[in-house]
Structure 1
Amino acid sequence: MAIQKLALIFKNPHNDDEFLLVKQSHPPKFDHQEYDSYVDSDLWDLPSAQLNPLQGKSGSQCVVEVAESRSEEIDLKEFDLRSAFNEIFEQIGFGAVEMGVWKYYKYVKEPAFGPDLPIQTVFITGVLPAEDHDLRDICRWMSVQSCLNWLLEVKPSSKRVGPLVVVSLINDSLGSAKWKVPPTIGYQEYPPGVVLIPMRSRTQKPFHTTNLVVFAPDDVPSESGDKSFIACGDALIVDPGCLSQFHEELLKVVATLPRRLIVFVTHHHYDHVDGLSVIQKCNPDAILLAHENTIRRISKDDWSLGCTSVSGDEEINICGQTLKVILAPGHTDGHMALLHVNTHSLIVGDHCVG
């Protein structure tokens, strides 16, 4: 079971390199003064809507061209495309679906992060058919390069790009990466270079998985200068906490990563450390980083190799990119977070769930 979603990639009729993004709604207020005082920067993503089954409905459907080689990925005839199209057209200020040529682009299955159902998204491309419409101020034309600029060089309060445009267009445009996730493993890459793999773990209900985070960027020019780093490596793996029956899956990931591997553990709970033994057997050169309160609670059977304690503000160098260690006690007395400086992406462990 999964939730089906439709996302439209509207091409600019005057510039084929640009596509339409829509400003997403901000989260609701919670009537909590301190919480509500924080205002997120604007998030821009492809216009989208839930895609529901037809359930016996009749009437004209939107015609979508599907290449024969892609026809088995999903049967669009089973879904109420017109309703989803109408909802999207209303988002951008059009009254209803205009006639046009629509082409199936791709079908992306989100891995099961849980506890909610995973989302599977159909991406369809087309050109806005009526050029005389004035788009609403929540719409803007963007290119892949301009979206990449927003993603990779994030500044405080700057605009952000959502995951739909990343998984549909940006990741494809980056070409072949040096490191690839083994093909049998479900994952999500957002922002580019930061891979999240939900692994079955001894976590608490209603959850079933813990996010394994892998950071293995292609070599980039180093701007480290004379900085002193607590550790340097070619790849980083965060919170390997899967159940023993999924150790083989974790092994496939670790075996494909470079030997200069940094392992970062946010805290000592089982669902974040149960796979450490797999890493040390596969790569005895790996270095473990964690708070000293976490290290002393990790069993020697799980990790008996070299480890370095961190207390906050230390910096890690992975292929020339900097990650900063953040002290974040609360969930445990040794809980740590990790900030990817370039993209301002914060790996928060169990400080943010759900």
Structure 2
Amino acid sequence: MNDMFFTPGRGSRSPTNAVITPRFELNSSGSISPPLVVSGLGVRADGPTQAPSLPLTTGANNPNPNPKARDNPSESAATPTPPRPVVLVEMGAPTYRLAAAVTGPSGAEAGFLVARQPPPPRVQEEEGEYGRFVDSDLYDLPSAPLRRLAQGEQARPGVAVADAEAEGPLDLSRLDVPAALDQILSQLGLTNAMCGEWRLLKHIEEPEFGPDAGVNTVLVITSLESKPEALQDSCKWMSTEGARELLSDVKPGDTRIGPYVHVGFVKSDLSSDCTAGSTLVSQEYPPGITLVPMKSSTLRPFRTTNLVVIQATSGTCGSKRPDYFACGDVLLIDPGCCSQVHTELADLVNSLPKKLLVLVTHHHNDHVEGLSVVQRCNPDAVLLTHENTMKRIGKGNWSTGYTAVTGGESICIGDQELQVVFAPGHTDGHMGLLHVNTNALIVGDHCVGHGSAILDNRAGGNMKDYFQTTYKFLEMSPHVLIPMHGRINLWPKHMLCGYLKNRKAREASILQSIENGAQTLFDIVSKTYCDVDRKLWIPASFNVRLHVDHLNSQHKLPKVSENCTQLLYVS
């Protein structure tokens, strides 16, 4: 599996104040694994099957990789400075996707058609250890890629969409709507002759999740002239009330409803837009959870950190109950935006109810840099985080007390219930959060929307903890994963199993290198990464240390290498 490990926390500091150096791990071709491509409103079926090969350059170096160098300049001069690899990503123009709402003859009251979404392909090895971890069925409005026409190219005659000028800059004449509709109707087993007039329902611009330029969605609607006698096995009728219930009162393992249904038929009933009237672009899914990607000091390929805002969907306010650890009217998670957008963050905080809770998943700067803004706008806000995280958050970010969480605490936000999850691995104080109403799991930096995040060995990052947390997440059987960088993931178990397979394959390769005679860190890296550019060996070595520690804790290292872990730290 091609992989890239991404350290989001540029400028984050450990207890020793040593700057955490970002690291990347790549395969021998230097390529990066394709993400499980999820658009702002649903799964893209047209994701790349091969990873694009992206150029890497070495950026600014860490000025003090060795904490002792602050007091000993000569030691600083003798210590090599790890390079900072940077993945260069071309932004380009956003792509488009067409989603279609096909209702019964009397309109949405008669129900609408949904299609079972194809899961990501499984390989044979997944039938073994990972065979029992299978995501439940996901139903959504049918959709297809919407190709942008080339310069001078004319779309073939076909379907006309009424009200096409109703959504500002959208120009449907430059998009191949007939071809996309043909794909959608074939999914449903219908023909265009069975449909009435097509109308534009919504045009949704995706927020800046990255690393690409985004996937905008064109949502169109039509009514059938008459209900077909039979449907494709993968399709069924759904009512708005049924969709609302499946979205807002979720049971683990139940049938899931996707984002297109939510935005097309349910959102107006349940949503509370925290960015209304703001320049910020947000996405709400599942109901009650709003993601606001905000520019941060994170590293490429990402440019933003997802500020997560959780509000009551029914307009009710939180009241203190003895069975809840904390209650409020709104919860903010990881306000980590950089100073360039602190004004926008302040406007958002000032627009929210005053009974505000703030939860920080971990201490990296791109997750806490906006804390001071939150506190300035709402001095009564309550900060929730792990004690190991709080020790690393500077007074300049949060100057008053906090409430420690360790995992298992229940939080009430109006009609929304959440459970804090202790999730070490990325750091020793890393936390996640389960949104009970929708069974959505907010994972901090344990998962990211593209590639995977490396573990911070200067802040208690630990491979054994990482594996245990990943298995814990799998056993929780979430319906959606919400990372703090990148898009949501609608196939959580598939993604988590992929992380496990990737880590275990890397560890097996490292063990084989040791069994073949590698004794020092340089030996292991040079054998494990022999086909990788030598410029990448130093960043690769950081992760090798954690894998060797994990192998040693399992007593898997061969006896001839019993001193291997000591040699790693002096080589």
Q: Specify the TM-score bucket, using the shorter chain as the normaliser.
A: over 0.9
Q: Secondary structure at 2:361's aligned position in 1?
A: coil
Structure-2 separation of matches of 1:309 and 1:34? 36
One-letter code of the match for 2:290? V
Note the C-alpha offset of 1:221: 8.7
Structure-1 separation of matches of 2:120 and 2:184? 20
Greater mean alpha carbon deviation, residues 285-294 or residues 201-210: 201-210
Note the C-alpha offset of 1:258: 1.3
Structure 1 counterpart of 2:385: 290
Note the C-alpha offset of 1:309: 0.9
Structure 2 counterpart of 1:277: 372
Q: Of 10, 17, 35, which aligns to 2:102? A: 10
Structure 1 counterpart of 2:118: 25
Q: Which has the higher helix share?
A: 2
Task: Decide whether aligned partners of structure 1 residues 48 and 317 sit closer, same or farther in structure 2, where only a CA change above 3 A counts.
Answer: same
One-letter code of the match for 1:64? V
Indicate conservation of the 8 Å contact 1:291/1:335, yes or no: yes
Indicate conservation of the 8 Å contact 1:110/1:119, yes or no: yes
Task: Decide whether aligned partners of structure 1 residues 49 and 277 sit closer, same or farther in structure 2, where only a CA change above 3 A counts.
Answer: same
Note the C-alpha offset of 1:57: 3.9
Q: Of 248, 254, 258, which aligns to 1:162? A: 258
Task: Decide whether aligned partners of structure 1 residues 333 and 58 sit closer, same or farther in structure 2, where only a CA change above 3 A counts.
Answer: closer
Greater mean alpha carbon deviation, residues 33-42 or residues 196-205: 33-42
Does residue 124 of structure 1 match 2:220?
A: yes
Note the C-alpha offset of 1:165: 1.5
Does residue 52 of structure 1 match 2:147?
A: yes
- The runs of 5 or more residues in structure 2 that have no matched partner are 1-92, 450-571
Structure-2 separation of matches of 1:286 and 1:258? 10
Q: Secondary structure at 1:351's aligned position in 2?
A: coil
Greater RCO, 1 or 2 (C-alpha within 8 Å, sep 6+): 2
Note the C-alpha offset of 1:14: 5.6
Taking the TM superposition and a 5 Å limit, the aligned residue runs for 1:212-231 are 212-217=307-312, 218-220=314-316, 226-227=322-323, 229-231=324-326
Note the C-alpha offset of 1:320: 4.3
Structure 1 counterpart of 2:33: none
Count of paired positions: 351
Cα deviation 1:213-271 (Å, max 9, x = unaligned): 001114449898641x3222111000000111111111111111111110000011111
Q: Secondary structure at 2:332's aligned position in 1?
A: strand
Note the C-alpha offset of 1:62: 1.0
Structure-1 separation of matches of 2:230 and 2:207? 38
Note the C-alpha offset of 1:337: 0.5
Structure 1 counterpart of 2:233: 137
Q: Which has the higher strand share?
A: 1
Cα deviation 1:36-85 (Å, max 9, x = unaligned): 431011111111111112331453131111166x1644111111111101
Structure-2 separation of matches of 1:328 and 1:49? 36
Q: Secondary structure at 2:216's aligned position in 1?
A: strand
Cα deviation 1:131-185 (Å, max 9, x = unaligned): 445210111111221111001111121011111111222112347x485544321
Structure-1 separation of matches of 2:327 and 2:269? 28
Structure-1 separation of matches of 2:213 and 2:251? 33
Indicate conservation of the 8 Å contact 1:54/1:79, yes or no: yes
One-letter code of the match for 2:243? C
Structure 1 counterpart of 2:435: 340
Greater mean alpha carbon deviation, residues 243-252 or residues 316-325: 316-325
Q: Secondary structure at 2:307's aligned position in 1?
A: strand
One-letter code of the match for 1:26? P
Structure-2 separation of matches of 1:72 and 1:320? 35
Structure-2 separation of matches of 1:306 and 1:172? 38
Could you tell me the TM-score, scaled by structure 1's length? 0.92
Q: Secondary structure at 2:445's aligned position in 1?
A: helix
Note the C-alpha offset of 1:319: 1.6
One-letter code of the match for 2:418? L
Q: Secondary structure at 1:185's aligned position in 2?
A: coil
Task: Decide whether aligned partners of structure 1 residues 15 and 100 sit closer, same or farther in structure 2, where only a CA change above 3 A counts.
Answer: closer
Indicate conservation of the 8 Å contact 2:369/2:397, yes or no: yes
Q: Of 220, 240, 244, which aligns to 2:339? A: 244
Could you tell me the TM-score, scaled by structure 2's length? 0.58
Structure 1 counterpart of 2:539: none
